[in-house]
């Protein structure tokens, strides 16, 4: 089966800084990929490349069988790629509903205002904000503002959803509710890539985990296998810690 999203050797340089280096990955239909790595590893830059915010310096990006390398964000949104942001980006002086209507209009090539409002209402009910539709978005709390972002993304009817630190700043109760919501999105048939620092979120949601360090993919696989990978441990905690936690041979020395 053709992956819903495929990257082939994607790189991005900013002057002399190579932020992403020859990243190749596949996102399968109905899959959740957790994207992790230390600060500065290139995770958000990679999401920006997929979403079209940055043009790739090298490599190719495919959505299904269609190459979308170099397409601008609005075209990618219309083709089925939606995203949220680590730092909430909403129209704070607009109502919750109008925030989501704007997204539906933006992503819908032939969607009129009536259809956009219907999409918005459907998305708001899905995320639990139906009763808050008339509130000014900037007057809601952080958890609800993150739901507004998610509702906007869902109103675009995506096949691929990119979530950047969706749980950041939430308390334990809010995190639990957000986890349930992401699972519901996945059950609706959307494939996801999730950047997250909370390992309980990554372990609880991801089918596969991809680890980046210095712009490169250094490990990928099942969540439990990846978190026990010594190269991953070294990237997060340093080589000294990695040597201390490496398996020992029968004579008591670290295994090679």
pLDDT in tens, 19-37: 999 999 999 999 999 999 9
What tokens appear for 157 in the block? Answer: 């009817």
The arithmetic mean of pLDDT across residues 61-76, rounded, is 95
Residues 219 and 231: beta-carbon distance below 8 Å: yes
Positive/negative CA dihedral, 47, 202, 31, 230: positive
Helix (H, G, I), strand (E, B) or coil at 250: coil
Please say if the pLDDT value at position 105 is more than 70: yes
pLDDT confidence tier of residue 161, bands split at 50, 70 and 90: very high
Please say if the pLDDT value at position 97 is more than 50: yes
Please say if the pLDDT value at position 231 is more than 90: no
Q: List Cβ<8 Å contacts ≥24 apart for 218-227.
A: 220/25, 223/34, 227/199, 227/203
pLDDT number for residue 33: 97
Q: Where are the domains of the chain?
A: 91-157
The whole-angstrom separation of Cα 40 and Cα 45 is 9
* Count of CA atoms in the C-beta half-sphere (13 A) of 170: 24
pLDDT confidence tier of residue 1, bands split at 50, 70 and 90: confident
Contacts of 178 (CB under 8 A, 6+ apart): 143, 146, 166, 167, 170
Closest CA to 71 of 83, 59, 89, 56: 56
> Model-level pTM?
0.89
The arithmetic mean of pLDDT across residues 65-84, rounded, is 94
Q: What are the backbone dihedrals phi and psi of residue 34, each rounded to the nearest 5 degrees, phi first? A: -90, 125
């Amino acid at each position: 089966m053709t992956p819903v999203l495929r990257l082939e050797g994607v790189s991005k340089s900013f002057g002399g800084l190579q932020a992403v280096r020859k990243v190749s990955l596949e996102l399968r239909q109905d899959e959740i990929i957790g994207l992790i790595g230390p600060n500065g590893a290139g995770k958000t830059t990679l999401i920006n490349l997929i979403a079209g915010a940055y043009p790739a310096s090298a490599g190719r990006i495919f959505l299904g069988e269609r190459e979308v390398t170099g397409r601008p964000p609005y075209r990618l949104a219309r083709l089925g790629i939606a995203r949220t942001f680590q730092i909430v980006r909403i129209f704070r002086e607009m109502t919750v509903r109008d925030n989501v209507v704007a997204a539906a209009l933006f992503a819908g090539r032939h969607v009129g205002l009536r259809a956009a409002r219907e999409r918005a209402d459907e998305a708001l009910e899905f995320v639990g904000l139906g009763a808050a539709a008339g509130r000014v978005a900037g007057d809601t709390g952080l958890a609800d503002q993150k739901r507004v972002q998610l509702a906007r993304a869902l109103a675009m009817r995506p096949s691929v959803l990119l979530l950047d630190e969706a749980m950041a700043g939430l308390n334990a109760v809010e995190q639990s509710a957000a986890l349930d919501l992401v699972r519901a999105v996945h059950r609706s048939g959307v494939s996801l890539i999730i950047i997250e620092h909370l390992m309980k979120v990554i372990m609880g949601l991801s089918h596969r985990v991809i680890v980046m360090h210095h712009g490169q993919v250094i490990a990928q696989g099942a969540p439990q296998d990846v978190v026990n990978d010594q190269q991953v441990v070294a990237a997060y905690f340093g080589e000294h810690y990695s040597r201390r936690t490496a398996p020992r041979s029968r004579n008591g020395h670290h295994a090679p």
